[in-house]
């Protein structure tokens, strides 16, 4: 046979084999689900808040599958329980990546859990979406922060209290871990800058119920406003004790940074009417996108359920990731991480977009007053999205890093006070 003809025959066979192999690979890719991880507390003190984040993420993933999945592939999810315990969060993040082979993780609420998970995410050069307002003082190429930075929640609330409540004295109370301590320091810097003063600062052990000493100090200091970074189940005891001490909202308003519509379902709301919270989203926001979101959530989980900022941020996280997957043409972490840095969407609260420099999101800011039905009347809003500033300008970035190091070392290399409440 002519050598040239033999070459053509061999080349044809090779090409056919390659095409058959490629077709098989494409079929496998089309059928193979894209696996994602969901990492929140289903048990422990933080379950009161984090379960709704799971519900929002699952709802959005179900919607994606109902529309045909991503890249012609279904999406499946693995839910891991962080158990309100920081080391457990880290272990579960590692398992999701190494054993379950997830393409992304949506997870955490507390900063202590996020800071425990971050080294695992960065070690594997992976991707975490963190859907919670937090203290800032952090940036990572492996994390998309879809909640709020300090200038998108904390600082606007203090400024609003100064301007609209005529507040000149503030009492700071929080749970005893990294987020409340950082918020307290950010607040103290800002309050000093405007010529007001902090008349007290107290922290309650995480998950603790011994709030009476703190209530006594609040009563003694007679602040104009209480700024609360108390989280989880402790809020039940805190607000009940405030009311019992005659420190209801009509006497001393509380602005909460850790309670929203979902928490109010489990708190003594009748004793909290007239108090405030600062978030980027409230269920009562009047936008077509929000009305549809609320409708879908209630249809899936029941008419008695409510949505809140973390629910919206969790939903936004999944949608931003899905957009990035479609743009990248793959669910592989590297390309998606690049593509997500310039995503935006018309979210329930307004236009939300990822800031490519900080990997935080632009979001509008609102302040709401608690109603008897457990909803909020929006009393102030920025209307337009606010650019995230993770590191407040009151100190240098190095100063903030040293501040964080001191907290961590002071807690024996933990991101929360390791002490436990005793009887």
Decide the pairing of beta strands 143-145 and 128-130: parallel
**What's the pLDDT score for residue 11?**
53
Over residues 5-38, the pLDDT tens digits come to 655 654 555 454 544 454 444 444 457 999 999 9
Q: What is the mean pLDDT of the chain?
A: 93
**Bridge partners, residue 226, by sequence:** 171, 254
Q: What distance in Å separates the CA atoms of residue 322 and residue 314, rounded to the nearest whole number?
A: 13
Give the list of residues 6+ apart from residue 107 with CB closer than 8 angstroms, or none: 37, 38, 39, 40, 80, 82, 89, 93, 113, 117, 128, 129, 130
Q: Cβ–Cβ contacts within 10 Å for residue 357, how many?
A: 11
Residue 32 C-alpha from the chain's centroid: 30
**What's the pLDDT score for residue 24?**
46
For 99-140, list the strands marked E by DSSP: 105-107, 128-130
Residue 409 pLDDT > 70, yes or no?
A: yes
Banded pLDDT at 162 (limits 50, 70, 90):
very high
Residue 72 pLDDT > 50, yes or no?
A: yes
Residue 367 C-alpha from the chain's centroid: 18
Q: Cβ–Cβ contacts within 10 Å for residue 135, how many?
A: 25
Q: What is the mean predicted confidence (pLDDT) over 144-166?
A: 97
Query: 151-285+368-410: same fold as 31-148+287-362?
Result: yes
Over residues 169-204, the pLDDT tens digits come to 999 999 999 999 999 999 999 999 999 999 999 999
Measured in residues, the chain has a length of 423
Over residues 324-376, the pLDDT tens digits come to 999 999 999 999 999 999 999 999 999 999 999 999 999 999 999 999 999 99
- Map out the domains of the chain as residue ranges: 31-148+287-362, 151-285+368-410
**What's the pLDDT score for residue 27?**
45
**What's the pLDDT score for residue 29?**
45
Q: What is the mean predicted confidence (pLDDT) over 57-82?
A: 98
End-to-end CA, the chain: 94
Q: What distance in Å separates the CA atoms of residue 245 and residue 237, rounded to the nearest whole number?
A: 12
pTM of the model: 0.89
**Bridge partners, residue 416, by sequence:** 177
Q: At residue 118, what are phi and psi to the nearest 5 degrees?
A: -50, -50
Residue 307 pLDDT > 90, yes or no?
A: yes
**What's the pLDDT score for residue 1?**
56
Banded pLDDT at 2 (limits 50, 70, 90):
low
CATH architecture type of domain 151-285+368-410: 3-Layer(aba) Sandwich (3.40)
CATH number of 31-148+287-362: 3.40.50.2300
Give the CB-side neighbour count of residue 164, counting CA atoms within 13 A: 15
Give the CB-side neighbour count of residue 198, counting CA atoms within 13 A: 20
Banded pLDDT at 277 (limits 50, 70, 90):
very high
H-state helical runs in 245-332: 261-264, 288-301, 309-328
**What's the pLDDT score for residue 48?**
83
Residue 244 pLDDT > 90, yes or no?
A: yes
Q: Which burial class, exposed, middle or buried, applies to 140 when counting CB atoms under 10 A from its CB (0-12, 13-18, 19+)?
A: middle
**What's the pLDDT score for residue 230?**
96
> Is the distance from CB of 237 to CB of 211 less than 8 angstroms?
yes
Q: What is the mean predicted confidence (pLDDT) over 314-328?
A: 98
Q: What angle do CA 34, 37, 38 make, to 5 degrees?
A: 135
Q: At residue 172, what are phi and psi to the nearest 5 degrees?
A: -105, 125
Which among 146, 118, 174 is positioned nearest to 281, based on CA atoms? 146
> Is the distance from CB of 257 to CB of 227 less than 8 angstroms?
yes
Residue 113 pLDDT > 70, yes or no?
A: yes
Residue 393 pLDDT > 50, yes or no?
A: yes
């Amino acid at each position: 046979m002519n050598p040239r003809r033999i070459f053509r025959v061999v080349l044809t066979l090779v090409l056919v084999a390659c095409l058959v192999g490629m077709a098989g690979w494409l079929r496998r890719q089309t059928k193979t689900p894209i696996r994602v991880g969901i990492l929140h507390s289903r048990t422990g003190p933080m379950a009161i808040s984090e379960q709704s984040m799971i519900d929002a993420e699952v709802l959005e993933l179900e919607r994606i599958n109902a529309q045909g999945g991503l890249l012609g592939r279904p999406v499946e999810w693995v839910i891991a329980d962080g158990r309100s315990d920081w080391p457990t969060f880290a272990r579960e993040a590692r398992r999701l990546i190494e054993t379950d082979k997830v393409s992304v993780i949506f997870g955490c609420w507390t900063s202590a859990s996020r800071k425990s998970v971050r080294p695992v995410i960065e070690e594997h050069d992976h991707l975490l979406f963190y859907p919670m307002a937090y203290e800032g003082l952090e940036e990572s190429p492996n994390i998309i922060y879809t909640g709020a930075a300090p200038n998108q929640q904390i600082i606007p609330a203090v400024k609003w209290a100064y301007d609209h409540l005529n507040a000149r004295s503030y009492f700071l109370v929080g749970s005893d871990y990294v987020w409340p301590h950082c918020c307290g320091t950010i607040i103290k810097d800002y309050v000093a800058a405007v010529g007001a003063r902090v008349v007290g600062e107290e922290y309650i052990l995480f998950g603790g119920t011994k709030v009476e000493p703190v209530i006594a100090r609040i009563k003694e200091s007679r602040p104009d406003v209480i700024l609360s970074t108390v989280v989880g189940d402790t809020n039940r005891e805190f607000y009940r004790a405030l009311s019992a001490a005659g420190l209801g909202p009509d006497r001393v308003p509380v602005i909460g940074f850790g309670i929203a519509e979902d928490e109010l379902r489990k708190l003594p709301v009748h004793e909290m009417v007239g108090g405030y919270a600062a978030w980027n989203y409230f269920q009562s926001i009047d936008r077509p996108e929000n009305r549809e979101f609320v409708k879908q959530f209630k249809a899936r989980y029941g008419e008695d359920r409510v949505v809140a900022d973390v629910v919206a941020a969790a939903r936004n996280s999944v949608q931003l990731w899905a957009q990035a997957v479609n743009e990248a043409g793959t669910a592989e972490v590297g390309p998606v991480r690049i593509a997500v840095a310039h995503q935006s969407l018309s979210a329930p609260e307004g236009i939300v977009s990822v800031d490519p420099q900080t990997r935080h999101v632009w979001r509008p800011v609102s302040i709401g007053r608690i109603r008897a039905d457990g909803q909020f009347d929006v009393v102030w809003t920025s209307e337009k999205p606010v650019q995230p500033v993770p590191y407040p300008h009151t100190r240098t970035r190095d100063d903030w890093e040293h501040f964080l190091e001191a907290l961590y070392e002071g807690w024996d290399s933990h991101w929360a006070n390791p002490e436990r409440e005793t009887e």
